[in-house]
Amino acid sequence: MTAPSTNDLASRLQGLWLPLITPFRDGELDEASLRRLVWHYTAGPVDGFILAATSGEGMSLRAGELERLVTLTRSELSASRRHLPILLGLSGASTAKMLDVLDETATWPIDGYLIASPYYIRPSQRGLVQHFTALADHASWPIVLYNIPYRTAVSLSNETLLQLAEHPNIVGMKDCGADRAQSIDLLARRPSGFRVLTGEDAEYHDALVDGADGAILLSAHLETEAFASLRTLLRQGDRDGARACWKELSRLTRLLFAEPSPAPAKYWLERSGLIDSAEVRLPMVEVSAELAALLDEEIERRTPQLLRRA
C-alpha cells in the first residue's frame, strides 16, 4: 500500500470521524460484530475511522489483536468500495518504545496515527516537542496529535502545538484539552493546512462554532446522521437549526459519559443489534443497572421498536 502524502490526509481530516469501539465476546475480538459495525458506518455520513484509541480500548488489545483489528476494518472498507481513511491510535510513555511500534506498524493498511502525549511521566514542553518530533521524523505515516491532559497528566501548550504544526509529517490534532479559550487561540494562530478536530463530545457544537474542522465523537456511534447534520446546518448559516439539533443530541452525550466510556455506548449498540455483546475488558466494567435503566428509557424514546424486539 502506497503511503499517502501529508497533504492527502490533511485534506480528509475534517467532518465527522468515528473512534470505533472494539467489540469483544467471551474475552476475544468479535470479528463478526466488527465487520457489521464497519459496514454499517461506511454507509453513513462518516468521514474516517479511528481504531484502538480511547473508545476502542486500545490499551487492552494484544499486538495480534491490534493488527487483526486494522486488517479486518480495511478489508470491510475495501469490500464496501468506499475508501475511508483509518487512523491508528497509539500511546506510550517511552519514546524509544514508541519508535519500535512505529516500525512494527509501518506496513499496516492505515493512513496515519493518532498519538497521545506520554502519560504518567509529565515531561516538559521541551520534552514534548522532542518526543513528537522524533516520532514524526521516524513515522511512515502522517501523525495527528492527541491532546488529552486529563488522561495523560500533561497538556500540549499552544506554543508547543504551533511549533509541532510546522513539521511536515504532523497534520493536525484531536483537541480534548477542555479549555475553550486555548482552543480558540489555537484556531486563530494555526498554520494553513493544520487541522483541528474536537474530541470532546459535550463541546461539539461550540467547537464547530469556534472554527474547528470537525470532530472525533464516540457519541456519533448513535444518531450518526444527526451529528453530521449539525455541522451541515452551521456551514449553511442556520445557527438556530443547529442549536435545536444540539439540544436534542446533548442529552445523548451526557448519558453516554455518565459512566466510563465506552461501556454505555456498547450497551446501546448491543441493544440495537449492531454488536453481539456489550463486553468490555478489565479494568473497564459494563454499565450499572441504574444507568442501564436510563439508557433503556432513552432507547425507548428514540427507537422504541428496539426494546419491543428485545
The active-site residue out of 174, 204, 266, 267 is: 174
Binding residues, by number, are 55, 216
Instruction: Scan for cell 513528537, then name that residue.
Output: 132
Contacts of 32 (CB under 8 A, 6+ apart): 276
Radius of gyration over alpha carbons of the chain, in Å?
A: 19
Q: Is 195 exposed, middle or buried (0-12, 13-18, 19+ CB in 10 A)?
A: buried
Give the number of C-alpha atoms closer than 13 A to the C-alpha of residue 292, restricted to the C-beta side.
Answer: 11
Q: Is 146 a catalytic residue?
A: yes
SS3 state at 18:
strand
Helix axes 125-138, 95-104, angle to 10 degrees: 20
Strand partners, 49: 18, 86
Cell for 28?
476475544
Binding residues for pyruvate, by number, are 55, 216
Cell for 165?
504544526
The active-site residue out of 41, 113, 146, 204 is: 146
First to last CA, the chain: 43
Q: Is 267 a catalytic residue?
A: no
Q: Which residues are catalytic?
A: 146, 174
